[in-house]
Amino acid sequence: MKKKQVEQDIINAAVKIFVAKGKDGARMQEIADSAGVNKMLLHYYFKDKDTLFLEVVKNINADLYGSVIEESMNTLTFQEFLSVFIDRHFNYLNERKDSFQFLLWEISRKQVDLHEIISGSNNPYGKNPFEILSDRLADAIAKEEIREVDTTEFILDLFSLDRFLFIGLPVIRGIAPMDDAELASAIERRKKEVFRLLWNDIKIN
């Protein structure tokens, strides 16, 4: 079912404003202005602010299921796989850092019911990244490509190291301003460092 142009314009504007201001800080008028439509139309198409907010969260969530893991990565050795995963994961998180922070905030304020979001979304990739990584790890251990690792702890290590830079970025930038070029080079350094640290930890010899 294809959405009308106006409807889509409103959703796009709503995503932008809600992510920038949060649910409580966002104003219906500002969303209407940003979408270039009459404020009344927001209510015509989406009833009220709560309904529009839910629509926004669903849209953002759907985008977060775009996986960093592709079929083509199946043939890689685990060492190669890990390197490619980290590279793609950093890029993926960098492009969605604001969405992640927004969701994290609204989830912890209980403005978002995770179960409703998750059950309602058809993850087009079937398994989630956690499951795929678990399988790949178990496989590499069986093939003796890596030592026996605790899967949960390893994935927590990996996610921690990948995500922190983006989470702390607003603070870092508030203290020591950093332009996009500097951020890009910091990201590249982190990719190398995270791979080095984790691979050294799990490689066999």
> Does 182 engage in binding with its own copies (CB under 8 A)?
no
DSSP 3-state of 203: strand
Per CB under 7 A, the segment of 41-49, 100-108, 148-156, 175-183 that binds DNA is 41-49
> Does 49 engage in binding with DNA (CB under 7 A)?
yes
> Does 179 engage in binding with its own copies (CB under 8 A)?
no
CA-CA distance, 43 to 35, in Å (whole number)?
14
DSSP 146: B
Which x/- pattern over 86-115 shows residues binding its own copies (rule: CB under 8 A)? ---------------x--xx-xxx----xx
Size of the site for its own copies (CB under 8 A): 38
Selected binder of its own copies within 171, 180, 204, 205 (CB under 8 A): 171
Tokens of 169: 């970025």
Residue 4 has phi, psi (to 5 degrees) of -65, 155
DSSP 16: H
What 66-73 contacts at long range (C-beta under 8 Å, 24+ apart), as own/partner pairs, is 66/92, 67/125, 67/129, 67/132, 68/92, 68/129, 69/125, 69/129, 69/132, 69/133
Selected binder of DNA within 40, 114, 118, 172 (CB under 7 A): 40
Per CB under 8 A, the segment of 38-46, 63-71, 76-84, 166-174 that binds its own copies is 166-174
> Does 48 engage in binding with DNA (CB under 7 A)?
yes
CB 204 within 8 A of CB 145: yes
Q: Summarize as ranges the residues that interact with its own copies (CB under 8 A).
A: 20-25, 101, 104-105, 107-109, 114-115, 118, 150, 153, 156-157, 159-161, 163-165, 167-168, 170-171, 174-175, 189-190, 193-194, 197, 200-201
